[in-house]
């Protein structure tokens, strides 16, 4: 799968997850997809929340790995 196709699929999954983040005062921004590694910036309340690592790894990463072929990891960028 091309990086552009993967980027589009990642964005679709993030759009499905976004309402849950917004409900808690946060959001996320897709920064890049490179060789299966998705780089996200957590915004709003998610950027300063002590549970943000759990949200990123147990929530967002799990969903992306399950739903987008080729995604292997999610990294937070600041």
| Domains with residue ranges and CATH for the chain | 3-76 (3.30.300.130)
pLDDT at position 29 = 96
pLDDT confidence band for 74 (50 / 70 / 90): very high
Which whole number is the average pLDDT over 3-17?
95
pLDDT at residue 17 is higher than 90: yes
pLDDT at residue 31 is higher than 90: yes
pLDDT at residue 39 is higher than 90: yes
pLDDT at position 48 = 85
Q: Name, in order, each residue with C-beta under 8 angstroms of 51's C-beta and a sequence gap of 6 or more.
A: none
CA distance 34 to 16: 21
């Amino acid at each position: 799968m091309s990086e552009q196709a993967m980027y589009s699929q990642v964005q679709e999954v993030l759009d499905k997850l976004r309402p849950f983040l917004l409900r808690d005062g946060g959001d996320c921004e897709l920064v890049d997809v490179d060789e299966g590694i998705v780089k996200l910036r957590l915004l709003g309340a998610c950027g300063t929340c002590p549970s943000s690592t759990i949200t990123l790894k147990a929530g967002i990463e799990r969903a992306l790995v399950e739903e987008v072929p080729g995604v292997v990891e999610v990294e937070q960028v600041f």
